[in-house]
Structure 1
Amino acid sequence: MDKMVVLAVAVFVTLSSCAVGCSGNTNSTELKLWSMEDQSTAAQLAAVFKEMERIRCEQTTLEQQQHALTQMHAASQKRRAQKKVGRNVLTYGTNDEEEDNLHFSEKDSRRRGDPCFHYTVLDQAWRATNTTTKFKMCDRNVKWKGWYRLFYKGKSIQMPERCVPLNKCGTNSPLWLAGPHPKRREGIVTRRVCGHWKKNCCAFRSTPIKVKKCLGNYYVYKFTQPSSCYLAYCADINTLVCGQCRRNQYCESRDKINWRCKTKKTSSKKIHFFVSYPGQLRGKVNRIKYSKVLVNMGRAFNRRTGVFRAPVKGVYQFFFSTQAASAGLKTDLWLVVNGYWVAVSHTHISRPSTVGSLSMYMTFLRRGAVVYVTHNCGRSWANAASMTITFGGSLIAQLK
């Protein structure tokens, strides 16, 4: 009987150590077991088997929890993969809004290197063009690092583009931008900086700086240490209005003193084309290559491929025609937009004759949409002098 107790205790110690290793919690049951030495053998054996059963239950519970966690992790990975695939598919479908089609991670990677999103606010009232101070400041003593955006009392402002009088901007020789601020499409540009001294607006030609225009009608500057003291970069008080311009406006000034917000003119792009095929077509022609191009304003039609590609988003109107030339045959021409057959020009002649057919179609297209004509069946007739197999279209209204 004592041997059975020893064997049971050995099995129990093994299971107990496994349970501790799996669960990470100390098990005080062993201590309780050894404290029963003065108990009878039957009582000790019963206690051992009871604890063994409890440990088996705990192991079963742990295995079930681990299995459930594994399933939850696999389901989570599957959902993330499906989301990623869905975003990729969406990106291919809308190529007219390039910035909006980027994934958030791609946008973040762009922004990380864009100074428009990483700059230091420089809000020092003494830099204003209308400020004179007793103690003169010198930007040569500043350790310039990275990009800066100018403010005046919490309002966006920019550097002056004209000569600033002496002893303004809190210094002896005010530094101004000797050149126009860039447009957004120009990206980062290098501009010369001049300092006014002794009636010479560019007596001090300081180290050039970099400038970039950002979305929102503001500029960021990569300042450098001026050539000497006392020189300091100016903030033009007259440009306070520029920080109030809307996204569809820009800041304008004729004298570089009085600034105003002016609305951008949206010029609608002119797109018109008219082409013909000077020959005969029989049976199925997947894409008619209209070789005779009479009008191609905007160059959106490709003579080599026979494809019209929408250059801008908007409302377009198309027409296409044919001249059927065989009795007893039906002739079908289809207008194909982004792979979909959307309109047909159909003729069916019962007796020897020729019949012309013209079809029109108006639709909304995104930038990059592909439009062409296919000859599905029958026979179409034309020659070099006739205009019976034609294709044309125009942009009716451009959309943002």
Structure 2
Amino acid sequence: MSLSLLGLTLPLRPLHWHRANQLLRQCSQRRRAELLPYLLARCAVLDWWEDQQGGWDEAENSDWLPVFNDSLATELSWSERPEILELVSLADLNLANSRVLLCLAKAQTLSVEIPLLRDLLGASFCLGVAVDESKQQVQLLGFLSAAAVLRRAGEQLTYSFDVSDLEPMLYFADRLGEPAPAAAVLPALSPEQQQEAVQSLSQRYASPFEMFEPGLAIQVLQDATVCRQVLAVRCLSEQLAQPLARAHEAVQQRPAINLSHWIQNQLDEAAQALHWLLLPPLASGVRSRSTLVRPDASDTLTSLFADLRRQGIRVPQSSGGASHDFSLGSLRLRLYILTWMVSDQEWSMVAVLGPQQPGQLLPAELLLRVEDQQGLVDEHFPRQPSQEPLWLQVIPEVGETILLKVALGGIQVSPSGRLRSLVQEFPLTFS
């Protein structure tokens, strides 16, 4: 550890990496690389403060800062909650009755989300830090009081400032205990807002500040139920996302169903082997050449097309379709697929997933998902148990193979971050 008036350099120890990775394992994989420096900085600073309580040489360093004794508050911070880290990159500490936000320097510049500092954390100070993973060290650059940051920011929602604007670490200890600026009191989210937030944040790996206005973003972060659901769905989606090699292997082991035959009112061998049943032709006067036609489809199709029209999807008379009954655990499901040519290069696929028996609820853990060779294309899931079917539409290129997945799994994150689910996969193509 080295010390100067300009800052303090702390070593990164193996224990810091261990503590950071323990928390990161509960977040989605896509978030871990960005979060790691924040958690390493937090672990190093926390470890250093604890050292001051028991091992600081007061005689040698009395001009710099005192022994802290019982000044370290150990209550749970926001950055110890994986559901919060999943949505925002932050590191905060509770020191001497003051909440401190760690701000990571990038090219000698620090940036602060003002609503996060004021309304979520209620922080008293911003502590500038620089993390150098290759050198295994964290440098404390200086600090600013939250009041000073808010005063300088004015009406800005994101305030950026230079490292040279920080006050020296020499005075940090004496300033701890200053009150934080008053935060706004925001109402709780309505059920409709909760559902919208979960759906929006689950489909995009973005922070609430990128997707909502600042007040709503803070309300989302203050809603533990919403944050946990987003974390669970993101982790489940990653669990279901197979690497490209595994996806290719699945397609090779089970031939893709060629939907182009359906427009001719026929099923290929792959569809017949899985007991798909054709839907009646939509074009008037056209008779199916196949005996594999669902006999009870008329009433269902009327309701199905009405639902699709409400979603803005117009199914042309030239389309073809089929359905497939299957089970996931004790849940009996029926999958409808409609397809048609969009152009010489593209085809459309609409998948609609519902229960086999009318009135049966689809659980919130159900997921309808489409992947191509690059990964996720689209996915839908019930925001709560519902009788409404799940649907999605994709427009691949002619000759392209996509993978349609239906999954059922309890969306709960274990301490190790692992999830289990039941999955049915359907390779589909149009050629």
What TM-score bracket applies, with the shorter chain setting the length? Answer: under 0.3
Q: Which has the higher helix share?
A: 2
Q: Structure 1-normalised TM-score? A: 0.22
Rg comparison, structure with higher value: 1
Superposition TM-score, scaled by structure 2 size: 0.21
- Kindly indicate which of the two structures has a greater share of residues assigned to strand: 1
